[in-house]
Amino acid sequence: MTATGWPLAKNQAMDTTSEVSLEGDARIYESLRHFWHPVMYADDLGDGPAQATLCEVQLAIVRLDGEVSAFNDLCPHRGTALSLGSVVDGESCQELRCAYHGWQYDDGGRCTTIPQRPDLVDNLRVRVQTFPTVERYGLIWVCLLQDPMFPMAEFPQYDDPRFQHHHMKMPDWNCTSPRRVENYVDLGHFAILHDGFLGQVNHPEIPRHDVWREDHILRIKQLEPNREPVNEKYATDISGDEVVVDDDGEFTMTDQEWWLTMPLTVLLHQTLPGDRHYYLFFHATPLDPGTVRNFTIHARNFGDPDKAQQELFSFSQTIYGQDKPIVESQRPEALSRDLSHELHLQDVDTVALQYRLWLSELVASTEGTAN
Amino acid sequence: MNTAEIEDPSDWALAKNQAFGGDLRINEIDAEAEDRIYRALRHFWHPVIYSEELTDAPRQVWLCGEQLVAVRLDGEVHVFNDMCAHRGTALSLGKIVVTDDCETLQCPYHGWRYASTGHCVLAPQRPDLAGRLRARIKRYNAIDRYGMVWVCLEDEPHFPLPEFPQFDDPSYDWVAVPSTSWDHTFAVRRTENYTDPAHLAFVHDGYLGDSSQPEIPAYEVHKTADNILQMRLAEPCLEPATAGKNKSIKTDKEFLSVMKTWDVFMPLTVLLRVFDDEGNDYALFFHPTPTSARTLRNFTIGARNFGETATIFDEIAVWNKIVYEQDEPIVSSQRPESLPEDLSMEMFLANVDTFSLHYRKWLLALADELVPK
């Protein structure tokens, strides 16, 4: 803070805004190749291959003998997209066949069949690049490097039979992935941007909370409950003395905590009255430097399962719709690594500060290990 | 180059076009080569519209990113830059009017008129200036031949027009395949696709090939003239007799035994001939015109010395449109979008991809000659 009047954050200097972001933007973006990202919902993958994109790399996703593989979407022979091909039975296993000349690849990307010259296949060591791929939580996850820096995020409630879970397909956002994640764990905007949905504008103070590191996870935990308006995600289920009413309307007291698995996965846990638990699992997959695909899964141990899809979907659609134009408008587009570029409020922007500091450290360490 | 016969002792070979990591970005690699090959195409003849589509009104056409107007004046085709010298209006929006017994092209905005030489012969606002106006529009080489209007953007075409003798032979019927635009393909990728014998069994399974017989017959590649790269099968191949294009050939066999030759008039025109020992001869004269670096328009004339005139449109024109629709998504997906200059970027199979290898080498030689580095 300067002594000479109101401080001006560096990002307000119009002429340098775009310049400032370029280098930091590129470095954070490059570092994302070291981590797991979901690239599609598993139920969108049919019998044939499908095309997906991660950090501008075009992928062919395919299920061979039940196991999912991710190939570079390019046949080494003539550069055709393998995602236009088909799954065929090879000698001992299912294989991916290119649509153009019928070259076939096994799940390791090795070419097993060259129909025009079957005699050559054993000495022609053709290979398509493949990437580490895992199917979990109904999502297909890919890492572009062979050794992911951190393990995949945990989401134990997904396999817990007491919980219903619901996948949600939402439009892509035109922003960077870290900006999207910062928005997801931003406690200060609930009362303002989501007034009447996740907070109340007359109560903008944010609950006291702790922020700390645990392995590769940034933990955030409220030390006191916050006022959450009664909303669609539990409207059909909540009643009686669980609901508080005052001049600002109906609300409940909610405890919240977050597990932010670095750098882009968030698990939100809300504890509502009556031992009701709601989990929201989220990952902001970077398709390219300025485009995010939102992978979202809800889980809850209450409510009518038949209504859950509609309740959760329509509620989230509203929330995402409120956030999208705001986050897409942020400049610089990337999170600035120089913290003086924006203004940070003590006890309010702690999460954002901690997240950015860690992200900077990750960038530095990936740059040390990048191949 | 990754060739089929050389064994890589290190592990499985990875073609360079798959290396997307580090500083090697797929789209950067080809940018320079693509640009040079693309610019070299200005030195050659390209069809821009079928003759029968150019009647009593001017038509807008595109070639190598240039917006042109094609117009027939007193029966002769002419091609100009599609921009009035006065206020930059598209002359293709104008019309043909007679001035002093000659047809002229009139701009729709202020009525300026242009003669076949490109000179402005009348500015209606100042008729007193007629004959003294120095305004003119750029005019390009244009020829009406083989049912198409051909244009060369440079004053001296590097090679003469391709030859299509069947077109003028009275024992052949011909038909124009309705032209279609492809929006994501560089024209040379399309010619490579047109001359690729190995994809027929897969992309055109049941149409031009059979997926259970993917091996391709032996063939030879020769330079047969200053501007022709020829591929010729050394032995006959089998084609489904049920194929629409073979309907007029009477046979009770499931497959026809045919010979094929491809004459590529560098850099883009293909004359494909398919013939049998009964004397049936079928010729496809094809050119993918580069409307821009990433788009093309397919022009094709089909000719045959068998069958009825009444069925040629269904059997040849409609048939080839279906075949083209099978190719389009595949060729559009190819990366890099242009043919890579560095041949090690993709894999070449001896005796399978030989033609494509020779074609690319020649293409690069032309680029080196016409667009020096």
The CATH number linked to B55 is: 2.102.10.10
CA distances from B118 to B127, B133, B267 (A): 18, 12, 29
User: Does residue B22 lie within any of the structural domains?
Assistant: no
Higher pLDDT, A174 or A308: A174
Given this model, what pLDDT does residue A16 score? 40
The CATH number of residue B316's host domain is 3.90.380.10
Give the whole-angstrom CA distance, residue B331 versus residue A4.
Answer: 64
Segment A7-48, tens digit of pLDDT: 555 555 444 443 334 566 788 899 999 999 999 999 999 999
Instruction: Report the interhelical angle of B354-370 vs B31-40 (nearest 10°).
Output: 80
pLDDT band at residue A350 under the 50/70/90 scheme: confident
Q: Give the Cβ contact number of residue B218 at 10 Å.
A: 10
Instruction: Read off the tokens for A192.
Output: 């303002």
pLDDT band at residue B250 under the 50/70/90 scheme: confident
- What is chain A's mean pLDDT, rounded? 86
Instruction: Read off the tokens for B273.
Output: 């001939």
My answer on whether B252 and B111 are in the same domain is no
Q: Which domains are seen in chain A, by residue range?
A: 46-142 (2.102.10.10), 156-369 (3.90.380.10)
Residue A145 bridge partners (DSSP): none
The DSSP annotation for A297-325 comes to EEEESSS-HHHHHHHHHHHHHHHHHHHHH
Segment A308-344, tens digit of pLDDT: 888 888 889 999 999 999 888 877 666 666 666 666 6
In Å, how far from its chain's centre is CA B13?
Answer: 34
My answer on whether B251 and B366 are in the same domain is yes
Cβ-defined contact of B12 to A114 (cutoff 8 Å): no
Kindly calculate the radius of gyration of chain A based on its CA atoms and give it in whole angstroms: 23
Higher pLDDT, A9 or B240: B240
List, in sequence order, the alpha helices (H) in chain B: 26-29, 31-40, 165-168, 187-194, 200-203, 312, 319-332, 354-370
Nearest residue on chain B to A116, judged by CA atoms? Answer: B215
Cβ-defined contact of B20 to A76 (cutoff 8 Å): no
The amino acid sitting at B259 is M
Between strands A130-131 and A67-72, the pairing is antiparallel
Q: Give the Cβ contact number of residue B315 at 10 Å.
A: 23
- A187-226 per-residue burial string, b: 16 or more CB within 10 A, e: under 16: bbbbbebbbebbbbeeeeebeebebeeeebbbebebeebb
Between strands B173-182 and B219-225, the pairing is unpaired
My answer on whether B337 and B227 are in the same domain is yes
User: Does residue B329 lie within any of the structural domains?
Assistant: yes
User: Does residue B216 lie within any of the structural domains?
Assistant: yes
Give the whole-angstrom CA distance, residue B151 versus residue B43.
Answer: 10
pLDDT of A185 > 90? The answer is yes
pLDDT average, residue stretch A78-87: 95
Least confident of A112-116, A228-232, B245-249, B250-254: A228-232
Between strands A67-72 and A86-89, the pairing is unpaired
Segment A137-152, tens digit of pLDDT: 999 999 999 999 999 9
Nearest residue on chain B to A57, judged by CA atoms? Answer: B20
Least confident of A20-24, A64-68, B315-319: A20-24
B chain contacts of residue A81, beta-carbon cutoff 8 Å: 333-335
pLDDT of A305 > 90? The answer is no
User: Does residue B219 lie within any of the structural domains?
Assistant: yes
pLDDT above 90 covers a percentage of chain A that reads 56
Residues of B with CB under 8 A from a CB of A: 2, 4-5, 7-8, 11-15, 17-18, 20-22, 196, 198-199, 201-203, 211, 214-216, 329-330, 333-336, 346-347, 349-353
What phi and psi values does residue A201 have, to the nearest 5 degrees? -65, -25
pLDDT of B18 > 70? The answer is no
User: Does residue B4 lie within any of the structural domains?
Assistant: no
Whether residue B97 contacts residue B106, with contact meaning beta carbons closer than 8 Å, is answered with yes
pLDDT of B30 > 80? The answer is no
Which residues form the domain of B249?
Answer: 165-370
Segment B31-60, tens digit of pLDDT: 566 788 899 999 999 999 999 999 999 999
pLDDT of B258 > 90? The answer is yes
Cβ-defined contact of B15 to A126 (cutoff 8 Å): yes
CA distances from A134 to A18, A47, A143, A150, B15 (A): 37, 17, 9, 14, 26
My answer on whether B237 and B289 are in the same domain is yes
Instruction: Read off the tokens for B332.
Output: 């559009």
A333, containing H or E segment: none
Q: Which long-range contacts (CB under 8 A, 24 or more apart) does A15-24 make?
A: A17/A331, A17/A332, A18/A331, A18/A332, A20/A332, A20/A336, A20/A338, A20/A341, A21/A331, A21/A332, A21/A333, A21/A334, A21/A336, A24/A332, A24/A334, A24/A335, A24/A336, A24/A337, A24/A338
Cβ-defined contact of B20 to A57 (cutoff 8 Å): yes
Task: Classify residue A322 as exposed, middle or buried by CB count within 10 Å of its CB (0-12, 13-18, 19+).
Answer: middle
B chain contacts of residue A104, beta-carbon cutoff 8 Å: none
My answer on whether B50 and B184 are in the same domain is no
Give the whole-angstrom CA distance, residue B139 versus residue B82.
Answer: 10
Cβ-defined contact of B198 to A101 (cutoff 8 Å): yes
Higher pLDDT, A248 or A57: A57
A chain contacts of residue B4, beta-carbon cutoff 8 Å: 117, 120, 123-124
Which are the contacts of B33, defined by CB distance < 8 A and separation ≥ 6? B338, B339, B340, B341, B342, B364, B367
Whether residue B137 contacts residue B73, with contact meaning beta carbons closer than 8 Å, is answered with no
CA distances from A159 to A66, A136, A164 (A): 20, 10, 9
A177, containing H or E segment: helix A177-184
In Å, how far from its chain's centre is CA A347?
Answer: 26
My answer on whether B333 and B359 are in the same domain is yes
Given this model, what pLDDT does residue B33 score? 64
Which are the contacts of B100, defined by CB distance < 8 A and separation ≥ 6? B121
Nearest residue on chain B to A82, judged by CA atoms? Answer: B333
pLDDT of B239 > 80? The answer is yes
pLDDT of A371 > 60? The answer is no
A chain contacts of residue B211, beta-carbon cutoff 8 Å: 102
Give the whole-angstrom CA distance, residue B189 versus residue B193.
Answer: 6
My answer on whether B198 and B295 are in the same domain is yes
Identify the domain boundary among B97, B119, B152. B152
Nearest to A358 by CA among A154, A240, A142, A181: A181
Given this model, what pLDDT does residue A337 score? 60
Higher pLDDT, A172 or B9: A172
Q: Decide if the complex's ipTM is over 0.95.
A: no
My answer on whether B124 and B175 are in the same domain is no
Which are the contacts of B250, defined by CB distance < 8 A and separation ≥ 6? none
Q: What angle do CA A348, A351, A352 make, to 5 degrees?
A: 95
pLDDT of A174 > 70? The answer is yes
Whether residue B13 contacts residue B1, with contact meaning beta carbons closer than 8 Å, is answered with no
pLDDT average, residue stretch B90-96: 95
3-state secondary structure of B355: helix
Residue B145 bridge partners (DSSP): B148
Identify the domain boundary among B128, B152, B176. B152
| Predicted structure pTM score | 0.80
User: Does residue B233 lie within any of the structural domains?
Assistant: yes
Cβ-defined contact of A118 to B22 (cutoff 8 Å): no
My answer on whether B84 and B218 are in the same domain is no
A chain contacts of residue B347, beta-carbon cutoff 8 Å: 76-77, 124, 126
Identify the domain boundary among B131, B152, B173. B152
What phi and psi values does residue A213 have, to the nearest 5 degrees? -100, 140
Cβ-defined contact of A77 to B4 (cutoff 8 Å): no
C-alpha distance from B246 to closest chain A C-alpha (Å): 24
User: Does residue B332 lie within any of the structural domains?
Assistant: yes
Higher pLDDT, B32 or A187: A187
Strand runs labelled E in chain A = 37-41, 50-54, 57-64, 67-72, 86-89, 94-97, 104-105, 111-113, 130-131, 133-136, 139-142, 164-169, 209-214, 217-222, 226-229, 244-246, 249-261, 265-272, 276-288, 291-300
- What is chain B's mean pLDDT, rounded? 87
Domain count, chain B: 2
User: Does residue B57 lie within any of the structural domains?
Assistant: yes
B chain contacts of residue A123, beta-carbon cutoff 8 Å: 4-5, 7
Cβ-defined contact of B20 to A72 (cutoff 8 Å): yes
Given this model, what pLDDT does residue A307 score? 85
Cβ-defined contact of B330 to A99 (cutoff 8 Å): yes
pLDDT band at residue B353 under the 50/70/90 scheme: confident
My answer on whether B197 and B98 are in the same domain is no
Segment B100-157, tens digit of pLDDT: 999 999 999 989 999 999 999 998 888 888 777 788 899 999 999 999 999 999 999 9
My answer on whether B68 and B214 are in the same domain is no
pLDDT of B338 > 90? The answer is no
In Å, how far from its chain's centre is CA A275?
Answer: 27
Nearest residue on chain A to B16, judged by CA atoms? Answer: A76
DSSP A48: S
3-state secondary structure of B46: strand
pLDDT band at residue A216 under the 50/70/90 scheme: very high
DSSP B273: E
My answer on whether B215 and B296 are in the same domain is yes
